[in-house]
Chains A and B, each alone.
Chain A
């Protein structure tokens, strides 16, 4: 998932906490700690102190930032999570944020809080912006489900309103621009409007955040106001807001930001949200909000899954030192995630956290003991027999890519417009060279021949591999078939040469075939045959048409053979 960049001393300071002196953490020690967050150190710049860390877990957005990584490590070091007062129900709020009716159809949810007392530093600001971007981009699916705004608190007068307005009725100066623009103009001209406008398109009224004086904070999820919505180094009073389409994702995102700012020394004060419609949180609630609930799990379930009778003490210790709130009660444990996490879907999620907290090395590997019989599929066995026989007939085996171009599979083979040109095509083509799946092997082998005129002759090559053939009767619209393709190319290559190979191959496989002439555009007329087995077509062979060779810029006569290995099985 995301790779983030952070400063080593910033991370060390956050791990130590605001009241302690940071100590240097050696890089290999850091890599050990990173196992707690499923993080991998991708890069380390000893001059600038920059660390690049990839975080794997797409369900743990709280870890996609320096603060979150530090927090998980700090909790392990201290044995339990420090509590954040603002997640508990409080009377005092910084102000109200009123949601207008109608937003439930556009972008229904909002969460907000204030953060006072953390003076933003240059590296802190970089981290805030990075977190904002990673969360909105990946967790919020390119701002579609979640987007985040950061503001200077001082100019904002509560209550803030989350309104719907006509695109021409409101104007403000967006970040990155010099002049006042209407929402419509922003959508048309501003780079962010062009990039994210699709999220609000189709609505005749658009969301906007304004304060009691009517000053625009932002046009979510597009762009902030330049006056209020540009946090700068030195600011120490911030307003944070999250809007989106999923109540819990919006709340979780704000919880993460609140915890991050608190870890940097800010005092978080909640904002009261007033909704015109009833939500899972009611019509009025405070954010940040701890919406998690305890879950009771049999201790046995954890022990069975881990294969180790850890006992309730070790389980409790492991989970506490991973940030959980835990109550142990006889054969069961009641667990609750910290408010900046919402990834507990199943008991197994707790199981993994126990294992991660204790370290995987805590668990001694045990060999599975149950007996099973190994074996290859009949198709693979047949494919292997064919391969061995082809090798015995002095063919070099080839492995090719299955994806390629219509040009190679059809046009160059002169089969456009015929039944042989039916291929599985891709909708979202990245490059014309890779736009469909091969329906036969011969073009793959001709590709090799094209590139190999300097390799000494004769050339005898084969590939046993998969092809895809469109078939309306198959449940996925095509069949995957394992085929043998073989070509012989040299100055005297001749039909009888490849015919002899086929004859010998099927002799050893004990299948008696016949050949029927077939008019196939890839081959010279009268020099191509369908291979028949018990009245069914199982392949074809022949001398390639000179025009095909010209298309491939092949300068020697070439003969080819294709055989369906699946059919050899059917017809046993």
Chain B
């Protein structure tokens, strides 16, 4: 009683006149005149003190349009667009494939295939030889339902129950579900609760109505301090067991925190940071690494090529000549070379950096220190379909170690150090591996405290065909660490795309255990 907040008193008094008859939040808002946020605060406090109780809870489902739905409304839903494209093609006699529709309507492949699937099932289209789509002339119930729903929800949200079947089914089918944000509709739960005084609440309320609300001070003010009036005041007691209101902190991104930690570890092990460019020539991205120009991983399906300009003006000498020779005949590096004609024009082709090793290659060519240790945390790009394990661009942590004492055993020693320092792993396994630019090559597996055995990275001694043309005469370790999986475990996520999440609430609440 003596630690009632004025807001709480208001709510109790509002409930007191009609004992036994419950009030909803809306009714309480009206009778108390409180702001919704104040009211809900007071209600939560009273519930926590068991002065009021929830009488009933009803759940309504409210359907509304998502931003995708707004777009569908403007441009029509994919299913309608596919259907009308098929009909149009039927009239003009054109052959129409799924790819044609995708290109013509610039739709996402997943939207098109979903639409085609539905239309086929409903018999509105046929898929004939060569993957061509033909309209059967039959209407699509889904397309029509979709149009009606977009129209209806465009003018405002509506309760799901007020839609009759089959509209409701279509709505639910196309409502945003976890993991699929590309849907036009969403259905939200709206919970309506009503409240009653508990017997002890009734008592307190009765007392309140009898004695009136006490004249208490809730906040100590500069005036009270200045005048000394605080000496005669009663301070209302707080219920300090209540949950603290949420605040947002300024803070680093947890993934960046993880990368900062890796950075710190590497610097403390004596590594210098190197940086490179997002756009690279094929020369530094691959040729300098002795990947032959016919190597399968250099295909159009593995690397992103830059549209304009397509080529760099030139490649610095003597590197172009040296690398050309080593590819063609191995000259200078004690190698047979690959035995093909090196295409200097191809070397100038601009690509999006596909491996951090490009940064190392450039570093080798600019008089690195011997002994020397270098690392980079480089953004790289691969021509992959984006999914839970592939991001469009990602960080590669990798580097080099130069020194006259470098050999296969010191390579293993360095990897042991990484395992201990970066992964806190006590157990390490070394497996033979293949990289085009190292020989011998090693894959390092460590026993992670949570994940069990996992691959931590790949490494090897750079082939002399890589180092000699770049002017380096000591052995060089090339190493790379695959830390994304470790990062994901540390951050408690399962989808690599969440490392680059665009959801502020998610980022605010995500925390790492490093």
B-binding residues in A (CB < 8 A): 1, 35-36, 38, 56-59, 138, 141, 145, 248, 304-308, 344-349, 351-352, 355-356, 360-361, 363-377, 379-380, 384, 387, 390-403, 424-428, 430-434, 437, 447-452, 454-456, 458-461, 466, 468, 470, 472, 475-480, 553
Contacts and interface: CB of A to CB of B under 8 A. Distances in A.
7 contacts: A1-B434, A308-B409, A430-B383, A431-B109, A437-B278, A452-B504, A478-B279
Contacts of B403: 368, 370
Interface in B7-52: none
B413 A367 contact: yes
Nearest to A436: B307
A459 B463 CA distance: 51
A477 B430 contact: no
Given A346-B336, A396-B253, A425-B308, 17 more contacts: A307-B407, A307-B410, A345-B330, A348-B461, A366-B412, A367-B413, A393-B250, A398-B253, A403-B392, A447-B502, A450-B502, A452-B504, A454-B505, A458-B248, A476-B279, A476-B280, A480-B278
Nearest to B416: A365
Nearest to B314: A475
A13 to B, nearest CB: 25
B149 interface: no
Interface in B424-456: 430-434, 436, 439-442
Nearest to B394: A401
3 closest cross-chain pairs (CB), A and B: A307-B407, A452-B504, A307-B409
Interface in B299-333: 300, 304-310, 312-314, 330, 333
Given A399-B253, A403-B393, A454-B505, A346 B413 contact: no
Interface in B179-213: none
B67 interface: yes
A229 to B, nearest CB: 26
Contacts, number: 284
Contacts of A479: 277
Given A138-B296, A352-B439, A366-B410, A397 B251 contact: yes
B413 A397 contact: no
Interface residues of B, number: 107
Pick from B246, B304, B337 the residue with the most CB of A within 10 Å: B304
Pick from B350, B434, B442, B463 the residue with the most CB of A within 10 Å: B434
B369 interface: yes
Contact of A368 (B333, B406, B430, B508): B406
A117 B106 CA distance: 58
B464 A392 contact: no
B414 interface: yes
Contact of A360 (B281, B308, B310, B430): B430
A403 B278 CA distance: 11
A401 B391 contact: yes
Given A426-B306, A477-B309, A397 B256 contact: yes
Nearest to A145: B294
Given A360-B442, A455-B508, A391 B279 contact: no
Contact of A428 (B268, B275, B300): B300
A424 B413 contact: no
Interface in B383-417: 383, 385-386, 391-393, 401, 403-410, 412-417
Interface string B366-379: 00010111000001
Given A400-B502, A476-B350, A38 B434 contact: yes
A304 B250 contact: no
Contacts of A348: 439-440, 461, 463-464
Given A361-B430, A391-B251, A426-B304, A553 B504 contact: no
Given A305-B407, A307-B409, A348-B463, A360 B278 contact: no
Contacts of A364: 409, 412
A345 B250 contact: no
Interface in B255-313: 255-256, 260, 263, 266-281, 294-297, 300, 304-310, 312-313
B294 A58 contact: no
A370 B271 CA distance: 12
A426 B109 CA distance: 19
Contacts of B255: 399
A171 to B, nearest CB: 24
A36 B431 CA distance: 9
A370 B403 CA distance: 7
A400 B274 CA distance: 21
Contact of A397 (B252, B338, B436): B252
B161 interface: no
B407 A56 contact: no
A373 B502 contact: no
A428 B383 contact: yes
Given A306-B408, A375-B273, A367 B392 contact: no
Given A372-B369, A397-B256, A356 B432 contact: yes
B235 interface: no
A360 B312 contact: no
A374 B277 contact: no
Pick from B305, B404, B504 the residue with the most CB of A within 10 Å: B504
Nearest to B250: A394
B514 to A, nearest CB: 16
B339 to A, nearest CB: 8
A498 B440 CA distance: 54
Interface of B: 67, 70, 106, 108-109, 246, 248-253, 255-256, 260, 263, 266-281, 294-297, 300, 304-310, 312-314, 330, 333-339, 350, 352, 369, 371-373, 379, 381, 383, 385-386, 391-393, 401, 403-410, 412-417, 430-434, 436, 439-442, 461, 463-465, 475, 499-500, 502-505, 507-508
B273 A401 contact: no
A375 B269 CA distance: 10
A345 B336 contact: yes
A141 B268 CA distance: 45
A146 to B, nearest CB: 12
Nearest to A375: B272
Nearest to A437: B278
Contacts of A145: 294
A398 B507 contact: yes
Contacts of A352: 432, 439-441
A360 B350 contact: no
B306 A425 contact: yes
A370 B372 CA distance: 9
B348 to A, nearest CB: 10
Contact of B405 (A361, A368, A399): A368
Nearest to B414: A368
Contacts of A480: 276-279
Given A396-B248, A452-B504, A402 B278 contact: yes
A89 B137 CA distance: 71
Contacts of A403: 352, 381, 392-393
B463 A346 contact: yes
Contacts of B306: 424-427, 477-478
A450 B67 CA distance: 10
Contacts of A434: 386, 392
B439 to A, nearest CB: 4
A363 B409 contact: yes
Contacts of B249: 394, 396
Nearest to B274: A377
Nearest to A364: B409
A388 B409 CA distance: 40
B417 A476 contact: no
A475 B312 contact: yes
Contacts of A366: 409-410, 412-413
Nearest to A303: B407
Contacts of A454: 505
Contact of A387 (B252, B309, B502): B252
B275 to A, nearest CB: 6
Pick from B269, B280, B381 the residue with the most CB of A within 10 Å: B381
B335 to A, nearest CB: 4
A372 B248 contact: no
